[in-house]
Amino acid sequence: MLLLSLHPCFYSGRADNNTSARTHFTVTDYFDGRTVQQHLRVAEHTSPMPTVQRFYSLEQYVGMLTGAGFVITGLFEPHPTTNQMSESSWWRENFIAPLFLLIECTRPA
């Protein structure tokens, strides 16, 4: 099984996505979890309905997966390649911390 999520440690939501929020944001609700509700923006279009993301601590994610009988076989933070970062100012400006968390797991037979 693959679990792909916005990174619970670093994703702060579009409402907080200004210059200072991209390098500093409040983490006081990290252990309690948090919900981010926002409209998606793609190619200058905004979704009519907001998306809702629920974030948990890493400890909670691991507990939910292992509690359901899964064994974690990999943990990844997908990111641009070194070449992409060096060739594109967009990547350098917008990917200053991991935005995604990918957990790979299996359930033993």
Local mean pLDDT, 10-residue blocks, the chain (109 residues): 89 56 64 86 88 91 97 96 94 87 96
Note the Cα 98 to chain centre separation in Å.
Answer: 7
Cβ-Cβ contacts under 8 Å for 48 (sequence gap 6 or more): 39
The answer to whether the Cα torsion of 11, 13, 15, 19 is positive or negative is positive
Question: What per-residue confidence (pLDDT) applies to 3?
Answer: 94
CB distance 73 to 104 below 8 Å: yes
Q: What is the pTM of this model?
A: 0.76
Question: What per-residue confidence (pLDDT) applies to 99?
Answer: 87
Three-state SS at 90: helix
Question: What per-residue confidence (pLDDT) applies to 13?
Answer: 66
Question: What per-residue confidence (pLDDT) applies to 24?
Answer: 57
Could you give the CA distance from residue 86 to residue 20 in angstroms, rounded to a whole number? 23
